């Protein structure tokens, strides 16, 4: 048996480290020793606060995330590690290989080869820890399908929002806006090219956006495409009001048990606004004939090479201090961008 440790969510606002014994890897399985894991600022904040629906599956598409959000449970989906033991039928070339896994925060774990993504030698552990969120960002872009010359607005500049913004900055858009309340996030966004950063604390934000578009010949009609990635249900009304006639609003936020009260009696009704649900566990049906998860992950790895988001890590906590990491995430979000656990 192999000794390991795991982070368990045990109650709202509480996590603990538990020791566990692992059986040796089976056929076509390996043992991975984690070196770094990224904390999801959106999803894991809801999980830590007890705002995830108890009867909802953790993730039906990820083998390491079976069960539901009923305490106690393990969670997390961004582990970088190294293969340290091979099971029967595994080629020796896997020994010592660096890999990424959609796995909870654990010091060691058993994984099938199909569940691991080998990492290129020139990609750092820090950059690789953003892989899951980069895949999500690419999924948002696929679902929003921005067109050349459009105006696009991203609401919410957490990690996924920033990665989405960074990829959109590569498109030939007429204008790209970014909106957030925290100066740290505004600063990171301002360092990207072709982005106009707006302050979410500005009460005249919608009129400011429309005026900025009017200055570029858009006749104050609003944005063509809006991404709501803030995690705040209240932001969905702002997204609807910021969209122009027949505009698309891609809802990438997961609100958990937080309720959204929508005002659908105004611009939504008159302007034929389209609301698009986007979630990375599946691919949009209209592109599934050409795209696979493997192709999307390969693109995400390539995007990490050019962006180097590891520079955005603001806090590193030893794995055994996971409780402090989550307290930082929830109580001081204005200071935090990407938090990682080290092993």
186 φ/ψ angles, rounded to the nearest 5 degrees: -60, -40
CB atoms within 10 A of CB 157: 28
The mean per-residue pLDDT over the stretch 27-32 comes to: 97
47 φ/ψ angles, rounded to the nearest 5 degrees: -60, -45
Is 270 domain-assigned? Answer: yes
| DSSP states along 101-145 | E---SBSEEEEEGGGEEEPPTTS-HHHHTTHHHHHHHHHHHHHH-
The per-residue pLDDT for 57 is 62
Residues 71, 173 within the same domain: no
pLDDT, one tens digit per residue, over 122-149 is 999 999 999 999 999 999 999 999 999 9
Residues 97, 29 within the same domain: yes
The count of domains in the chain is: 2
Is 296 domain-assigned? Answer: no
The per-residue pLDDT for 37 is 98
Q: Please give the residue range of the domain that contains residue 278.
A: 133-285
CB atoms within 10 A of CB 310: 19
Please determine, for residue 34, whether its predicted confidence score (pLDDT) is greater than 70.
yes
The per-residue pLDDT for 218 is 57
Contact, 90 vs 307, CB < 8 A?
no
Is 291 domain-assigned? Answer: no
Please determine, for residue 61, whether its predicted confidence score (pLDDT) is greater than 60.
no
What interhelical angle do 131-144 and 293-307 show, nearest 10? 110
pLDDT, one tens digit per residue, over 315-337 is 999 999 999 999 999 999 999 99
Residues 223, 252 within the same domain: yes
Residues 166, 72 within the same domain: no
Element (H, E) at 9: strand 2-11
Chain centre to alpha carbon of residue 13: 21
Is 294 domain-assigned? Answer: no
C-alpha angle 130-329-39 in degrees, rounded to nearest 5 = 30
pLDDT, one tens digit per residue, over 177-200 is 999 999 999 999 999 999 999 998
The mean per-residue pLDDT over the stretch 42-54 comes to: 85
Query: In angstroms, rounded to a whole number, what is the distance separating the alpha carbons of residues 109 and 5?
Result: 9
Cα-Cα-Cα-Cα torsion 63, 64, 70, 76, nearest 10 degrees, comes to -130
Residues 264, 329 within the same domain: no
Residue 319 DSSP label: G
Say which CATH number the domain at 228 has.
3.40.50.720
Say which CATH number the domain at 104 has.
3.90.180.10
Is 78 domain-assigned? Answer: yes
Residues 141, 273 within the same domain: yes
Is 48 domain-assigned? Answer: yes
Is 65 domain-assigned? Answer: yes
Residues 16, 99 within the same domain: yes
The mean per-residue pLDDT over the stretch 204-228 comes to: 76
pLDDT, one tens digit per residue, over 81-124 is 999 999 999 999 999 999 999 999 999 999 999 999 999 999 99
The per-residue pLDDT for 216 is 60
Residues 262, 138 within the same domain: yes
Residues 9, 103 within the same domain: yes
CB atoms within 10 A of CB 206: 17
pLDDT-based confidence at residue 172 (cuts at 50, 70, 90): very high
Is 103 domain-assigned? Answer: yes
The per-residue pLDDT for 58 is 55
The per-residue pLDDT for 202 is 82
**Range in 67-71, 127-131, 159-163, 177-181 with the lowest mean pLDDT:** 67-71
């Amino acid at each position: 048996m192999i000794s390991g440790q795991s982070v368990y969510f045990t109650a709202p606002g509480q996590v603990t480290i538990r020791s566990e014994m692992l059986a040796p890897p089976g056929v076509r399985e390996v043992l991975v020793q984690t070196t770094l894991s990224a904390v999801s600022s959106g999803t894991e904040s809801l999980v830590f606060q007890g705002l995830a629906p108890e009867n909802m599956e953790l993730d039906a598409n990820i083998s390491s995330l079976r069960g539901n959000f009923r305490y106690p449970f393990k969670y997390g989906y961004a582990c970088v590690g190294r293969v340290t033991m091979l099971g029967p039928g595994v080629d020796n070339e896997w020994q010592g290989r660096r890999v990424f896994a959609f796995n909870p925060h654990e010091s060691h774990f058993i994984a099938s080869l199909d569940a691991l993504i080998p990492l290129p030698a020139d990609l750092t552990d820090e950059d690789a820890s953003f892989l899951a969120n980069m895949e999500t960002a690419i999924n948002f872009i696929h679902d929003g399908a921005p067109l050349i010359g459009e105006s696009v607005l991203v609401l919410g500049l957490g990690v996924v929002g920033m990665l989405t913004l960074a990829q959109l900055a590569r498109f030939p858009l007429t204008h790209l806006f970014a909106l957030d309340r925290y100066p740290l996030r505004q600063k990171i966004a301002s360092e990207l090219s072709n982005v106009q950063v707006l302050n979410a604390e500005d009460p005249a934000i919608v009129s400011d956006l429309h005026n900025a578009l009017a200055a570029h010949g858009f006749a104050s009609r609003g944005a063509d495409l809006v991404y709501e990635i803030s995690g705040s249900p209240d932001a969905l009304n702002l997204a609807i009001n910021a969209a122009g006639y027949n505009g698309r609003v891609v809802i990438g936020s997961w609100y958990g048990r937080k309720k959204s009260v929508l005002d659908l009696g105004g611009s939504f009704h008159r302007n034929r606004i389209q609301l698009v649900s986007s979630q990375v566990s599946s691919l949009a049906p209209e592109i599934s004939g050409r795209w696979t998860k493997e192709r999307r992950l390969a693109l995400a790895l390539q995007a990490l090479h050019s962006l180097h988001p590891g520079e955005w890590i603001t806090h590193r906590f030893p794995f055994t201090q996971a409780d402090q990491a989550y307290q930082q995430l929830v109580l001081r979000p204005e200071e935090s961008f990407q938090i990682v656990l080290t092993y």
